[in-house]
Amino acid sequence: MVGASVWRLCYHVLPGVPDTPGPFVIVGMMALFGGIAHAPLAVMLMVAEMTGNLSMLAPAMIAVGISSIVVGDATIYTSQVPSRADSPAHRLQLSFPLLSTLAVRQAMTPSPLQLSPQQSVEEAEQLLDEHSVGGACVLDARGNLLGVLTLADIGRVPLGERGSRRVEGAMNRDVLAIQPDDTLDVALEQLTSHRIGWMPMVEVETATGGRHLIGRISTQEIVRAYREALAKGSRRMRGLVEGTVMLEAEIEPGMRLAGRPLREAQLPTESLVVSIRRQNELLFPRGSTVIEPDDLVTFLVSPSGEERLRAYLAERVERAEPILLH
């Protein structure tokens, strides 16, 4: 109605106004929806699709811009959040962006206790008390995860039956688990959304489908890995291609790379220098390129060689001072 009213007021007054109110109606409709829905880009696409050309894109942009200013923060969607950082689906990733660059294997710890499905609940309770843990993984003879037994599960078994009841009859089989190549933001999201303190880390065997236990991850370990990553000068990035990892490190004096040509750096196997950023200049590495302190070097490495590269970057060497002859 606003678009049609503007057309009616301007038709006999302003030159060049079209004979039909159609364009004004479309622009008015786009301004209304774009403002109250906070979806200006989607509205621009709708204008192009409805009209079949881009001639109305400019007036629609102006109208939607004015509408957005007038509407402000009001919206027809009551659950709409101001930004992606406020969304529950992206809150952890955008609040702690470093977590999305760290793999779960970097924060895992060995499982302190494993239970057999044939053990009694009473024996399992004693073991949990001795190790001061609230739960443990239940494994078969091959080390595959069958379930988890917690103190809460034991509490549901009557005292008189704990000596005869087997762990396999009391454990929780619907177990939340994570894989070592998942990122820490995913792990933390699962832990917090399910309100649990830890979960097992498994490797899935493609042939049998079994989940082989290799460790566990907890919120405390995630926080520890996050703090350690903040203190380090290197950070993990997503690989260019599947099956690779990119690692970015700031070169410090004393590193094995510092002051050496790349051909003499003796990098670990399965590691490759992709780029070197020196101040505001981006260098493409060659064998003769000398790595200097404060350079920001990007490595491409396989997941299996990542730990060797990290150990290499953590090494420090003492260089002999040059002797000046007078």
User: What does the pLDDT profile of the chain (326 residues) look like in tens digits?
Assistant: 666 676 666 655 666 666 666 677 777 777 777 777 777 777 777 767 776 766 677 777 777 778 778 777 777 766 666 655 455 555 444 445 667 778 888 888 998 899 999 999 999 999 999 999 899 999 998 889 999 999 999 999 998 899 999 999 999 999 899 998 888 888 888 888 888 889 999 998 877 778 899 999 988 888 888 777 766 655 555 554 556 777 888 899 989 889 889 888 888 887 888 888 888 788 888 888 899 999 988 888 887 788 888 889 988 877 555 444 44
Q: How many Cβ atoms are within 10 Å of 236's Cβ, its own excluded? A: 20
The predicted-structure confidence for 208-228, as pLDDT tens digits, reads as follows: 778 899 999 988 888 888 777
**Which amino acid is it at 312?**
Y
pLDDT value, residue 325: 47
Question: Whole-angstrom Cα distance, residue 211 to residue 201?
Answer: 9
pLDDT value, residue 230: 63
The predicted-structure confidence for 149-182, as pLDDT tens digits, reads as follows: 999 999 999 988 999 999 999 999 998 999 988 8
Long-range contacts of 215-218 (CB under 8 A, 24+ apart): 215/105, 215/108, 215/109, 215/110, 215/111, 215/180, 216/108, 216/109, 216/110, 216/111, 216/137, 217/104, 217/107, 217/108, 217/109, 217/178, 217/187, 217/191, 218/109, 218/191
Give the tokens for residue 288.
């003769």
Q: Look up tokens 């988890």; give the residue.
A: 148
- What domains sit in the chain, N to C, each tagged with a CATH number? 2-71 (no CATH), 101-224 (3.10.580.10), 233-314 (3.30.70.1450)
The predicted-structure confidence for 41-59, as pLDDT tens digits, reads as follows: 777 777 677 767 666 777 7
